[in-house]
């Protein structure tokens, strides 16, 4: 039996990278999937891919930093499929000009926090009432391994935003545990996505990151999607408030800084 049979999943940032891979995987495992993103062309292409594989999906334009957009995307999922069982708050950014605390501008800080942390807050704010009406479900909030340790390459806004996601997730998990809603934070290590490829186009910068990964390579989007699938499924029914790390061993290792 498909692992998400009969469930409705809403994935933010579903038009590219890890979200796009997760959308296809979730649809293939029986979920009816709603993708939310600002990349309309890519989002519609992802919906078509899901349909080609026999899955059912739809797309809604939503900027997760805007409350009215998030409220509308949840309403769209409820109107389209009649329920909300899985909320995958995946949307996030890591700008190239997010650096040291002494160098990062206030504008960069605000934009990163708005999408990476406020976006998760808004997703939960509007998604949880819909999940309660649906009988409960699973929330997966994407944090990062840098929420657990300092980044080798400074990225102060991103690191702070992901630390906030961990704290938010724990509180949501405790608050709604008796109402059949689980919330877990997924903490990927560096993943081979277009976003990271752009940031690591400099070979020296790429090597500075790879030296910290015990397995010696970047992760693949499918590896994160599989972890998200587990957290979305009933297989993880006793897991809530957890920090689910998928990082190739980074947080387990000690490396002397260069």
198 has a pLDDT exceeding 70: no
Complete DSSP assignment for 112-164: HHIIIIIHHHHHHHHHHHHHHHTT-EEEEEE--GGGTS--SS--HHHHHHHHH
Known catalytic residues are: 158
- pLDDT of res. 199: 63
Residue 201 has pLDDT above 70, yes or no: no
> Greater confidence, 200 or 236?
236
Mean pLDDT on 73-92: 98
Q: In whole angstroms, what is the distance from residue 25 CA to residue 73 CA? A: 21
Q: What band does 195 get if pLDDT is binned at 50, 70 and 90?
A: low
Tokens 């059912």, located at residue: 56
Nearest of 167, 217, 166, 168 to residue 196 by alpha carbon:
217
Alpha carbon 59 to its chain centroid, in Å, reads 17
Mean pLDDT over 55-62 rounds to 96
- Which domains are present in the chain? 8-189+220-245 (3.40.50.720)
Backbone angles phi, psi at 87, to 5 degrees: -120, 115
pLDDT at residue 256 is higher than 70: no
Which of 204-212's residues contact partners 24+ apart within 8 Å by CB, and which partners? 205/153, 208/152, 208/153, 208/258, 209/152, 209/153, 211/255, 211/258, 212/152, 212/250, 212/253, 212/255
Give the mean pLDDT of the chain: 93
Per-residue pLDDT, 253: 86
Average pLDDT (11-40) is: 96
Which residue, chain included where needed, has tokens 């790879």? 210
């Amino acid at each position: 039996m498909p692992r998400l049979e009969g469930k409705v999943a809403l994935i933010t940032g579903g038009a590219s990278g890890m979200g796009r891979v997760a959308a296809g995987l979730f649809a293939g495992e029986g979920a009816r999937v709603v993708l939310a993103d600002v990349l309309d062309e890519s989002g519609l292409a992802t919906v078509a891919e899901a349909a080609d594989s026999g899955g059912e999906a739809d797309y809604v334009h939503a900027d997760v930093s805007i409350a009215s957009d998030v409220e509308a995307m949840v309403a769209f999922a409820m109107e389209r499929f009649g329920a909300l069982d899985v909320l995958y708050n995946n949307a996030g950014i890591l700008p190239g000009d997010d650096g040291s605390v002494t160098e990062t501008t206030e504008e960069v800080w605000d934009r990163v926090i708005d999408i990476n942390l406020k976006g998760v807050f808004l997703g939960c704010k509007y998604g949880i009432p819909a999940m309660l009406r649906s009988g409960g479900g699973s929330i997966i909030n994407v944090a990062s391994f840098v929420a657990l340790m300092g980044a080798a390459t400074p990225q102060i806004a991103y690191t702070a935003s992901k630390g906030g996601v961990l704290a938010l997730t724990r509180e949501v998990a405790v608050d709604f545990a008796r109402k059949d809603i689980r919330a877990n934070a997924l903490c990927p290590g560096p993943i081979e996505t277009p976003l990271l490829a752009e940031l690591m186009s400099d070979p020296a910068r790429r090597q500075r990151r790879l030296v910290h990964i015990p397995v010696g390579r970047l992760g693949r989007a499918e590896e994160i999607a599989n972890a998200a699938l587990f957290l979305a499924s009933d297989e993880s029914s006793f897991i809530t408030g957890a920090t689910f790390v998928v990082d190739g061993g980074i947080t387990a290792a000690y490396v002397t800084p260069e």
